[in-house]
Amino acid sequence: MNKRQIFLIIAIAVGILLLIILAKKMGTVTDQPVLRRKSRHKRIVLRPSDLDFSIKGIKLIGNVRLFQRTNGRWYVRFTLNGKRRMLSTGETDKTHALLKLGEIVKAAECTNAFGPPLKRVSTFRELAEEYIAYAEANKASSTIQRDKRRLGKLFAAFGSNRLTDITQRKVELYMQEREKGVKPATVNRDLALLKHMLNKAVDWGYLKSNPIKRVKFLKEPPGRTRYLNDAERERLLDACKHSDSDMLYPVVLTALLTGMRRGELQELTWDDVNFAEARITVKRSKNNETRHIPIHETLLEVLQQLRNRYPYAQYVFCKPDGKPYGNWRRAFETACRQAGVANFRFHDLRHTFGSYLGMKGCNAYTIMRLMGHKTIAMSARYTHISEEQLRAAVDEIGAKVVQFPQAQTW
């Protein structure tokens, strides 16, 4: 090692020594432990296991720190599901703050896991608002309109009542008063709606049980099953052909051969008609369920003529400008009057379709599928037998009996 190298090493050592002396004078390096500034806050550190709470899916990370700020209040700081939170206990007393700690953290957990707390429904009017929103998402438009009309009467009776104040006796008194002005069937529809609303209130956690589940429906007379006989059908179709409305005949013929409801006919579009497979698909039914109906060859020809007449229309039964045809009630009533068909409504065309199916020997399940009933009991009403069928059955038995040699006159 030469002199130059020795001199360089000494110079480096002296430089390091000078840097250490300078750093000590500036206070950045010390041999003694650093004394940190004392915090102004009183702190209490708790482990997650020290707190009595647990909710599935919640992960509490790190310690829970309880500290008192200069304003005197105790605050809690913790990390929940990866997010750091600091909340006030609202207490100035340490014992009270500790007692409130678990409640605060659990409330934060619920808000973090499930979003803001749900609004608690307490009155019938509040329940009705929520039920209408539910109905608009799950029911057909025609059913929603009927529900809203019935709610008007229910509002008058129960609108300001708390849900817990609606009792079996109150509802029975409402039914007694309502029956004075309307038929039992109308009262039963009101009761059915009210029961369903309170059942949903139970499902949604607003009630523990349905207070009117034991309320019984009123007895109703047998349902109307008016249908066209052969002569009436021919006269009515002929009157529709000569109607001022050129759309009435296709509408009535479609109703007779498919059993579709008025609303289903009004909303029928060409996208729902499959000419290749001769089938109509009802997408917007009363029960919100799709069904398929075969198209008779006569109806298929009429629909094809309509399609050719209005090639750019969206709706099957439309005005010349392509808009939905709307309400044909007046034109239909005029045709019935001209045809001499009394006590007959447009919906009775659907009854006629169902009755013809029953009289041709179709079982209730087939009728249910074609007509879109929700239960088979609704279809069983169409399995009746006409007077002509009864007479034909008796004549057949009579013919069988008289083919034997008749007994001597008594």
Query: Within this chain, do residues 258 and 380 fall inside the same structural domain, yes or no?
Result: yes
Query: Within this chain, do residues 130 and 106 fall inside the same structural domain, yes or no?
Result: no
pLDDT surpassing 90 at residue 403: no
User: Could you tell me the two tokens for 64?
Assistant: 């829970």
User: Could you tell me the two tokens for 361?
Assistant: 């020997």
Query: Within this chain, do residues 193 and 287 fall inside the same structural domain, yes or no?
Result: no
For the whole prediction, is pTM greater than 0.85? Answer: no
Domain-embedded: residue 83:
yes
In this prediction, residues 170-194 reach a mean pLDDT of 93
Q: What is the C-alpha end-to-end distance of the chain, expressed in Å?
A: 161
The better pLDDT of the pair 120, 172 is held by 172
Domain-embedded: residue 28:
no
Q: How far apart are CA 110 and CA 213, in angstroms?
A: 33
The CATH code of the domain that includes 135 is: 1.10.150
CB contact set of 94 (below 8 Å; sequence gap of 6+): 44, 68, 74
* Residue 15 main-chain phi, psi, to 5 deg: -65, -40
pLDDT band for position 206 (50/70/90)? Answer: confident
Amino acid at the residue 245: S
Strand partners, 75: 67, 88
The answer to whether the beta carbons of residues 46 and 66 sit under 8 Å apart is: yes
Query: CA dihedral defined by 303, 306, 312, 313, rounded to 10 degrees?
Result: -80
Query: Within this chain, do residues 158 and 199 fall inside the same structural domain, yes or no?
Result: yes
Domain that holds residue 165: 124-203
CA distances from 245 to 224, 235, 319 (A): 28, 17, 10
Query: Within this chain, do residues 250 and 326 fall inside the same structural domain, yes or no?
Result: yes
| DSSP sequence for 272-286 | GEETTTTEEEE-S-T
Domain-embedded: residue 3:
no
Please give the tally of structural domains in the chain.
3
Domain-embedded: residue 99:
yes
**Given 77, 93, 114, which residue is the final one in a domain?**
114
Query: Within this chain, do residues 241 and 380 fall inside the same structural domain, yes or no?
Result: yes
Could you report the per-residue pLDDT of 3-35, keeping only the tens digit for each?
676 767 777 777 777 777 766 665 544 454 444
**Given 91, 114, 137, which residue is the final one in a domain?**
114
User: What's CA 334's distance to the chain center, in Å?
Assistant: 39
Of 32-41, 61-70, 94-103, 207-216, least confident by mean pLDDT is 32-41
Q: How far apart are CA 171 and CA 181, in angstroms?
A: 16
The CATH code of the domain that includes 281 is: 1.10.443.10
Residue that the structure tokens 């432990």 belong to: 33
Determine how many CB atoms are found less than 10 A away from the CB of residue 6. Answer: 10
Query: Within this chain, do residues 170 and 295 fall inside the same structural domain, yes or no?
Result: no
The answer to whether the beta carbons of residues 42 and 67 sit under 8 Å apart is: yes
Query: Within this chain, do residues 193 and 248 fall inside the same structural domain, yes or no?
Result: no
Domain-embedded: residue 399:
no
| DSSP sequence for 329-354 | HHHHHHHHHHHT--S--TTHHHHHHH
**Which of 79-88, 108-117, 272-281, 320-329 has maximum average pLDDT?**
272-281
CA distances from 214 to 171, 211, 217, 275, 287 (A): 11, 8, 10, 50, 26
**Given 114, 137, 165, which residue is the final one in a domain?**
114
**Which of 33-42, 232-241, 348-357 has maximum average pLDDT?**
232-241
Going by C-alpha positions, the residue among 301, 325, 311, 345 that lies closest to residue 251 is 325
Domain-embedded: residue 407:
no
**Which of 13-27, 36-50, 81-95, 112-126 has maximum average pLDDT?**
81-95
Query: Within this chain, do residues 289 and 331 fall inside the same structural domain, yes or no?
Result: yes
Could you report the per-residue pLDDT of 347-388, keeping only the tens digit for each?
999 989 988 888 887 888 888 888 888 777 777 777 665 566
Domain-embedded: residue 211:
no
Q: How far apart are CA 184 and CA 341, in angstroms?
A: 28
The answer to whether the beta carbons of residues 266 and 326 sit under 8 Å apart is: yes
The better pLDDT of the pair 41, 370 is held by 370
Query: Within this chain, do residues 136 and 247 fall inside the same structural domain, yes or no?
Result: no
pLDDT surpassing 90 at residue 174: yes
The better pLDDT of the pair 318, 66 is held by 318
Give the helix/strand (H/E) hosting 78: strand 74-80
Query: Within this chain, do residues 291 and 356 fall inside the same structural domain, yes or no?
Result: yes
Could you report the per-residue pLDDT of 67-106, keeping only the tens digit for each?
777 777 777 776 665 566 677 777 888 777 777 766 666 6
Domain-embedded: residue 394:
no
Query: Within this chain, do residues 234 and 382 fall inside the same structural domain, yes or no?
Result: yes
User: Could you tell me the two tokens for 150?
Assistant: 């019935």
Q: How far apart are CA 177 and CA 191, in angstroms?
A: 13
